[in-house]
A and B are shown apart, each in its own frame.
Chain A
Amino acid sequence: MNIVVCVKQVPDTNEVRIDPVKGTLIREGVPSIMNPDDKAGLEAALRIKDKTGAKVSVITMGPLQAEEILREALAMGADDVYLVTDRAFGGADTWATSSTLAGAISKLDYDLIITGRQAIDGDTAQVGPETAEHLDLPNISYAQEIEVDGDEVVVLRQYDDRSHRVRAKLPVLVTALSELNKPRYMTPGGIFDAYREKEVVQWVREDIPVEDENIGLSGSPTRVSKSFPKAVKEPGMKIEEGVEESVQFIVDKLKETYIL
């Protein structure tokens, strides 16, 4: 069985601070990490590998420094990794990204494709499902549990107020939630192998079977008409008193602001 996992390198938003004046993200000196939903997807794939001996391939599209998360994937136990990188792919929206990824994945053998639900820097949640469409595959999103049962996959899919257990015949694309699992740590030896013995396969424009009109900035139909910072919400106040005192406190505050 072959599993392909798509991952993305993102700024660690836990470390991102907000410029209090401009209201924009301060990205300087912020470490890059593997997107949490993607990492959970990789862990799910590795658990299937632990059980069944499946082969796990990991793919990312990004600049050269995205290689780091592929080395991390190797150190966690992935079998081989692919970096899709070319200036021609730069500035891609979700359509161009999914077109490019689908082209790259079409070169690999796959029974199951796992992507994260969404990346913490863009929050679109579109690339996974769009990739499935390009590859003409069924798609199950928001996976809380993923299990392989023979030639089928059984997924617990999260909805707002309920969950669905969905069974589908492979091949299929599943998008994973970070709540799916607690990803394993790399091993020290895995890290050494990742750098000293394994290879990050680089694929450039010519290597990917995808039309020019569907890649990069020019192949991106999305236009951002305006970009503006969200108002930064002041942190709330926590009152740790008894019920009586807390209620009194709130009433006083409401009176102070003439709401009462």
Chain B
Amino acid sequence: MDFKLKQEHLMAQKLFRDFAVNEVEPIAQEIDENHRFPEETLEKMQKNGFLGIPFAKEFGGQGCDTLTYVLAIEEISKVCATTGVILSAHTSLGAAPINDLGTPEQKEKFLRPLISGEKLGAFGLTEPEAGTDAAGQQTTAKLDGDEYVLNGSKIFITNAGPADTYIVFAMTDKSQGTRGISAFIVEKGTPGFETGHKEMKMGIRGSATRELVFTDCRIPKENLLGREGRGFGIAMGTLDGGRIGIAAQALGIAQGALDKSIAYVKERKQFGRPIANFQNTQFTLATMATEVESARMLVYKAAVAKDTQRRYSYEAAMAKLKASEVASFVTNRAVQLHGGYGYIQDYDVERMMRDAKITEIYEGTSEVMRMVISGTILN
């Protein structure tokens, strides 16, 4: 067992750190304040190959591994969780299912532009009445000649609006329950496909979260991803991968808040000395650092498991459960260490604490993670 990153991972980490500090951090506060999607950062990430990190070179990917992708999300989320989730949703939810299940033609047509940095991806599973109970899909897809006709809506879709390519789930046979769900690739601009207004959120406020609305939206039969009726399995498998991305995002938020706190307690003076000299501060920081490191171990382990094991739902669920709860705990403590300054917008930990919460909710709540984990250990 070796806990050291390889040289290529260390250099990639340095690249992502430099990029995060130079390109992402300077606007993190502003995009949060204005709920603004950072188009310019997306463009820079596209130009530098960040949108295809874990995918093979065959279709324009970077040919790296899941751990490298995790390092990217972590470093970026350390300074801006919004930018982290844009990349994570694109990679794990938008591109990965086509990479894993697409036909050679679908990969050429849809995957190549996604991972070579021309297009942005998104994933539409959640509906108003189908959250954790994803099997309760109301959106339907009916085959009519050479086309499927989609009707229904999706909510809380990350990257919706800016994204060009959407993985959308719909019922092709309601009588079959989860076995009646199928996955489709839907392109922006398809008649009958609209995105709704941007949700105003507690955190990750720069990211675009919108409703998808399908009204007699006709898509070519060739846009069916995988086989008809296999959509539920595709969604669950995709979310296993997505959870590693969100776990990395949570890890980054936690590390970012810890870094800000370490710097702050050395500067902030009370009773004539830096508050770092007080044991309460020291013990709080020690607990925060230990929590962050334990989350990191699970997140990196899940990343390696994804590349080396057939199934990794268990590792991914543990990584997300731990990292997201650590993110909430650590950012909460970071605000406490900052005192009143931690509660105002001038200090990043205020934003980080708001950003952390969503990691316990999206791509499966902490409760769902516990269901996945207990399901594995009890079977």
Contact = CB atoms under 8 A, between A and B. Distances in A.
Contacts of B15: 75, 185-186, 188, 191
Contact of B68 (A75, A192, A194): A192
Nearest to B57: A189
A188 B68 contact: yes
Contacts of B57: 189
Interface string A160-185: 00000000000000000000000011
Contacts of A130: none
A189 B18 CA distance: 16
B85 interface: no
B53 to A, nearest CB: 5
B62 interface: yes
B8 A189 contact: no
A188 B64 CA distance: 7
A71 interface: yes
Contacts of A194: 8, 11
A138 to B, nearest CB: 36
A193 interface: yes
Given A188-B50, A189-B57, A195 B8 contact: yes
Determine the interface band of chain B, counting residues with CB < 8 A from chain A: 20 to 34
Classify the secondary structure of A's interface with B.
helix
Contacts of A192: 8, 12, 62-64, 68
Nearest to B8: A195
Given A185-B19, A186-B15, A191 B8 contact: yes
Contacts, number: 53
Given A185-B18, A185-B19, A191 B11 contact: yes
A72 B18 CA distance: 13
Interface in B54-93: 57, 61-64, 68, 72
A188 B19 contact: no
A192 B62 CA distance: 8
B49 interface: yes
A190 B15 CA distance: 11
A189 B11 contact: no
Contacts of A189: 49, 52-53, 57, 61-64
Nearest to B62: A189
Contacts of B53: 188-189
Nearest to A195: B8
Taking each of A68, A75, A188, A196, which has the highest tally of chain B beta carbons within 10 Å of its own beta carbon? A188
A187 to B, nearest CB: 4
A144 to B, nearest CB: 22
A185 B46 CA distance: 12
B49 A187 contact: yes
A194 B19 CA distance: 19
B48 A185 contact: yes
Contacts of A68: 11
Contacts of B72: 188
Given A185-B48, A188-B64, A189-B61, A196 B8 contact: yes
A143 B11 CA distance: 29
B309 interface: no
A75 B63 CA distance: 13
B11 A72 contact: yes
B148 to A, nearest CB: 35
A187 B72 CA distance: 12
Contacts of A187: 48-49, 62
B18 A188 contact: no
Interface in A54-85: 68, 71-72, 75
A191 B64 CA distance: 9
A186 B15 CA distance: 7
B7, B8, B18, B52: most-surrounded residue (chain A CB, <10 A): B8
A186 B10 CA distance: 13
Given A185-B48, A186-B15, A188-B72, A195 B7 contact: yes
7 contacts: A186-B15, A188-B15, A189-B61, A191-B12, A192-B8, A192-B62, A195-B7
Given A189-B61, A191-B12, A195-B6, 15 more contacts: A71-B11, A75-B15, A185-B48, A187-B49, A188-B12, A188-B49, A188-B50, A189-B52, A189-B64, A191-B8, A191-B15, A192-B63, A192-B64, A192-B68, A196-B8
Interface of A: 68, 71-72, 75, 184-196
